[in-house]
Chain A
Amino acid sequence: MTAASLARRPRAPNKGRAEALAGYLFIAVPMALFLVLNVGSIVYALFISVWKWNLRSGPVEFTGLRNYGTALSDPIFQTAIRNTLYYAVVWVPLTMALGLFLAVIVNQKIHGQTFFRAAFYFPAIASSAAITTLWIFIMAPDGIFNQVRGMVGLNPLFSLLGFTANQNWIGDQGTAMNTIILLNAWTTSGTFMLFYLASLQSISREVYEAAAIDGAGAWQTFRRITFPLLKPGHYFVATVAVIGALQLFDQALIGGGVDGAPNNALMTMVLYLYNAAFKQFNFSYAAAIGIILFVVIFTATLVQRRLFGQAPAW
């Protein structure tokens, strides 16, 4: 290292300048794109959100914070917030638990370990559009889910819970969101399994050997050792999961169309934003919703950092 850096000392005075120039050239295109489409976008979105905006001519009239007020007082946006939060509160713990459970299993010395890892991750590789279309087909009133449960004699149990033999899972207001939760828990648990697996493998072996010597059983070892030592893993997976949950969109749009049918059961914050832009063509309103969404996501991330992560510096 020292010999190398000595050799790199500029022998010619303009060598450093040439290196800097090469550096700027190498990053020029990506940085230009980021500057316009990311950094510039945020500033532009803030600007648009305080104007009445015309697609052709741009700003028409300064409206201040009116768009933000309108959004927060619109009952449909409130429903969208409620639905999104319900989704997050149910889906995040469910999928984390399933992912952790799978990770613990495939982290053990089992036959076919590689196969099981690959199989459990498999549902995560398909596109949201394909898997949702497929799921809706499976959960249709005449779909295979309803047929299989009838065939294996589970219908008495389902009717006890208030479901008919031809329950329309995605089309019924009471079950639509839960059907989406089930779909996404199934597909995303494989991803969380891989995240947890990386975290599990960083736990030192000695800890487990000590526990085994002390005569701890499998459940005790998991509860007292594995689970607490996975804290950084929980923090990371929970953060990714909550950010993803608050952005629920693809499955809601494919399942319920632009209106989040039936009866706004699948209306989410992002779907509401999409409608503001491409159904009402009210771009400044959509920009304001985008800012609100960003603030919600950012706040949720900070709260989680307080709860699970290291305390922030401030």
Chain B
Amino acid sequence: MTSPARPIRADTPVAIAPVGDRSWAWRRRLAYTLLIAYAILMFVPFAWSIITSFKTLPDSVRLTILPDPFTLQGWDFAITKLTPPLPVLFFNSALIAGVVTVTNLVLGSLAGYAFARLRFPGREVLFLIVLATLMIPDQLRLVPVYLIFNGIGLTKGVGQYLGVILVVAISGTSIFLIRQYFLTIPRELEEAARIDGAGFFTTFLRVMLPLAGPALGAVAILTFQGTWNGFFWPLILLQDQGHYTLPIGLLFFRTAGGFATIYPPLMATVVMATLPIVVLYVFFQRYFVEGIAATGVKG
């Protein structure tokens, strides 16, 4: 529902119709019906994956909304019998996305602050390099990054985690978003701290960082979502099944793992791959929408 407090811009003029025009009322009703139908259609596939995950295998191809019988077999199969099992995939995804979110927040806020506030020779050129990294396609970097990481042992054992984290540990987008936000904060606030004798790091940590909440929130959400959903680098850099993330697990089950048509556990994996992001979306929808709009503005 639209509340009066929320400014809403009607950018297209409301067509003028005589008051009480019945055909107009009908068209309105039809328009809302279509809108609601289309909105529901957006949720149907995800709802279908949840429903299917609680069905038996023969029931999974039937067009019924209620599982008959309702069963946890699919989830049990996913948790205990899939290789790699669902909890391992979930752990790997959470570990990698969690660490990458932290590194982007720490490195992004330090660099964003430096590019916004500190004066040093070459700053503009270095910032251009940061922006230029956004235009290099990952595919161009595939071979060099793989060969470098392979050469220093980051494609084996625990090193795989390190490699897949390192390649996205900091993104140009994170630095850009935080820098833009710092530029909007008045300089006077820092000046006071600096006159009191605080150093650059203390000023950054005590004065500026606490003010950057909205920017850090957007970066955290965008980074977590992007890394959790990440496909390309985990596919290249995670070689052992035990290190797979959820998306790579799904690819493996469908193409090589022999689980392509065992739908209930497959859909349980889809649910686990999607649910954390759905929960984040429900609570932090504003950050998603504003973050996307902000990344759009830069272009």
Q: Which residues of A contact B188 (CB under 8 A)?
A: 4
CB of A158 within 8 A of chain B?
no
Q: What's the Cα separation between A258 and B200 when bound, in Å?
A: 51
CB of B22 within 8 A of chain A?
no
Q: What's the Cα separation between A105 and B139 when bound, in Å?
A: 36
In residues 119-160 of chain A, which contact B (Cβ within 8 Å)? 119-123, 125-131, 133-138, 140, 142-144, 147-148, 151
Q: Which residues of A contact B113 (CB under 8 A)?
A: 26
Q: What's the Cα separation between A128 and B131 when bound, in Å?
A: 25
The size class of the interface chain A forms with chain B is: 35 or more
Given A23-B118, A130-B246, A208-B13: A29 in contact with B107 (beta carbons within 8 A): yes
**A–B pairs, 30, beta carbons within 8 Å:** A4-B191, A21-B120, A31-B126, A37-B148, A37-B166, A38-B141, A44-B148, A109-B2, A114-B2, A115-B39, A119-B42, A120-B39, A122-B42, A126-B229, A129-B247, A130-B273, A133-B254, A133-B266, A133-B269, A134-B49, A194-B293, A198-B296, A201-B11, A208-B13, A212-B13, A253-B251, A258-B255, A270-B139, A273-B142, A284-B143
The size class of the interface chain B forms with chain A is: 35 or more
Distance to closest chain A CB from B70 (angstroms): 19
Distance to closest chain A CB from B229 (angstroms): 3
Residues 272-307 of A, flagged 1 when their CB comes within 8 A of B and 0 if not, give 011001100001101100110110010000000000
Contact A19 B200 (CB under 8 A): yes
Residues 71-114 of A, flagged 1 when their CB comes within 8 A of B and 0 if not, give 00000000000000000000000000000000011011111111
CB of A163 within 8 A of chain B?
no
- Main DSSP-derived SS at the B contact region: helix
Contact B248 A129 (CB under 8 A): yes
Q: Which residues of A contact B54 (CB under 8 A)?
A: none
Which segment of B71-79, B212-220, B277-285 sits at the interface?
B277-285
Q: What's the Cα separation between A147 and B230 when bound, in Å?
A: 32
Q: What's the Cα separation between A105 and B11 when bound, in Å?
A: 10
Distance to closest chain B CB from A5 (angstroms): 8
